[in-house]
Amino acid sequence: MKALTILFFLFLTSAIQAQATEHKHSLHWVEFTDKNNTPYSTFRPQDFLSARAVQRRITMGIAIEENDLPITPSYIQKIVALGAPLHAKSKWLNSIAIHTRDNDLLNQINQLPFVKSIKPLGRFRKVSKPNLKKNKPTVDVSKHEIDYYGLANNQIKMLGGDVLHNYGYTGKGVQVAIFDGGFLDVYRMPVFDSIYSNNRLLGTHDFVEGDDFVYESSSHGTNVLACMGSKAPHLMVGTSPDASFYLFKTEDVKGEFRIEEFNWVAALEHADSLGVDVVNSSLGYTGFNDTTMSYKYHQLDGKTALSSRGANIGASKGILIVNSAGNEGDGAWHYIGTPADAEGVLSIGAVRPNGTRASFSSWGPTPDGRIKPDVAAQGRYTVVASLNRYDVTRTNGTSFSSPVMAGMVASLKQAHPDKTSEEIKDAIRLSGSISSQPDSSLGYGVPNFFFAYLTMLEASIVVDHKGEMYYTPKPIEDELHLFIEQRNPAILKVSIYNKLMQEQFTETTETEAREIKEIRIPGLANYPSGVYLIKVEINASPYWLEMIKR
């Protein structure tokens, strides 16, 4: 009996000692002090950035900086050699995420001269076995609507998206990355056939489990993609139906830990290196399972949270980052989350189908007084594609107002490929329904993407189907864009006269029914400065307006 007691005591002692050497978290953030002895150089960006990413920086006048350089490889090699497997890395934060519970090993790593700090991130997830379904829903034309956009027509037309699409700006050639928790069944849904048949799914990666299979875990990302990339005319068409997509799984749907933020930043860096133009993230972080990781409202300054820090760096690289504001508007938290608080992020609130605020849409401002959210789109009764049949369904949340908006951002980017991300965001805010009096509820309001498109042209005039005229308040320098909307076929004639009523320009054209005709008047740089009259004749009915040439 005495021997048994001693044996049990020894077993208990060893168990306690084992627990003492194990950390409760299996993923840890290791931050480095520097990038010394790196083999990479800012003079050779082609070694770590794609040609498309380099071209984006050249187009936008963005310099290659030290934070673009990959982490010093020898630092990673030494830590891995000690027995800590690599989970993810971030060159912008000069950090890696490692997988271990061994406190002794963590202490050993922390003593390395190039290690600045180590912090817990959360739980490690093993790779799940892929499960692909073979059957595919059949097309059912009885579900079709008269409208080309199907039941998604309201969420698109609310933003003036149908007008922008009519000009051929549907996101073609624009690369979009979606960060989410999973993309169940995307490969088998008819609304995405156009993406696959036209090779517009550019790549996938699971930053949670470390493989490339993302068609698991959640249908949340599937719904997000439907808002943007679906193309099933008369059933559902998204806001960027011709864009190209990367699908990145960054969210661990089994728990809330800061590793998700690290995954988010790693995905953003990968998107940047690929040359992605637009990112949609219908994700947000405030509270975590380990409450010591949770944020307080005063920390939502756009500079504190891991994801917000990464977002601001990503935005400085020229990426248009669109993020949901959050669904805490009538909850205890009340405010937006991260990375929606980041200054470089276009944060999206939610409205009802009639354009009024959805009660769940999270409020601003940020604790440092910045307007957030930035703008809003339909997030109440948002139309998404049904998972298991050829149909649509409706859902709620800024998770869906965000991709509705992001798709339009991609379409606008196609229209103005040489504009910087800041110029595009400014134009979107300026076109908002309450841009003259932005508030902490809906920011600058519901934008009109056709007007945003116009504001980035040199000068433009719109004549709508009622004969009413709108114009951008810009002096004319070299080119004038004239847009004439007609519900019925019409003969158009545009003429320009100087102050002596001498004709300087004339052009006659025809429009089809329900068409917006664009007439470009070039060569105005050769006109003397002064006042000119523009005469627009629609089926011989004249409209006059004054033009000031600078």
List the end-to-end C-alpha distance of the chain, in Å, as a whole number: 104
Q: In Å, how far from its chain's centre is CA 431? A: 19
The burial of 191, by beta-carbon neighbours within 10 Å (0-12 exposed, 13-18 middle, 19 or more buried), is given as buried
Residue 282's closest CA among 252, 240, 251, 323? 323
Q: Could you give the count of Cα atoms lying within 13 Å of 537 in the half-sphere of its Cβ?
A: 11
Pair of tokens at residue 367:
């604790």
Helix, strand, or coil (residue 416): coil
DSSP string, 42-67: TT-GGGTS-HHHHHHHHHHTPPP-GG
47 flagged as catalytic: no
Which residue in the list 324, 361, 399, 440 is annotated as catalytic?
399
Which residue in the list 68, 180, 252, 301 is annotated as catalytic?
180
Pair of tokens at residue 26:
């299996």
State the SS3 of 421-452: HHHHHHHHHHCCCCCCCCECCCECCCCCHHHH
252 flagged as catalytic: no
Instruction: Give the C-alpha separation, 326 to 322, whole Å.
Output: 12
Instruction: Give the C-alpha separation, 275 to 176, whole Å.
Output: 10
Alpha helices in 239-348, H assignment, sequence order: 259-274, 306-316
359 flagged as catalytic: no
Which residue type occupies 190?
A: P
Residue 360's closest CA among 369, 352, 368? 352
DSSP string, 477-532: SS-EEEEEEESS-EEEEEEEE-TT--EEEEEEEEE-TTEEEEEEE--GGGSPSEEE
Instruction: Give the C-alpha separation, 144 to 473, whole Å.
Output: 42
Which residue in the list 185, 217, 220, 272 is annotated as catalytic?
220
Instruction: Give the C-alpha separation, 224 to 235, whole Å.
Output: 16
Largest interatomic CA distance in the chain: 119
Judge contact between 210 and 158, C-beta under 8 A: no
Instruction: Give the C-alpha separation, 390 to 381, whole Å.
Output: 18
Instruction: Give the C-alpha separation, 529 to 478, whole Å.
Output: 11
Which residues are bridge partners to 385 per DSSP?
392
The total of other beta-carbon atoms located within 10 Å of residue 51's CB is 10
Catalytic annotation, residues: 180, 220, 399
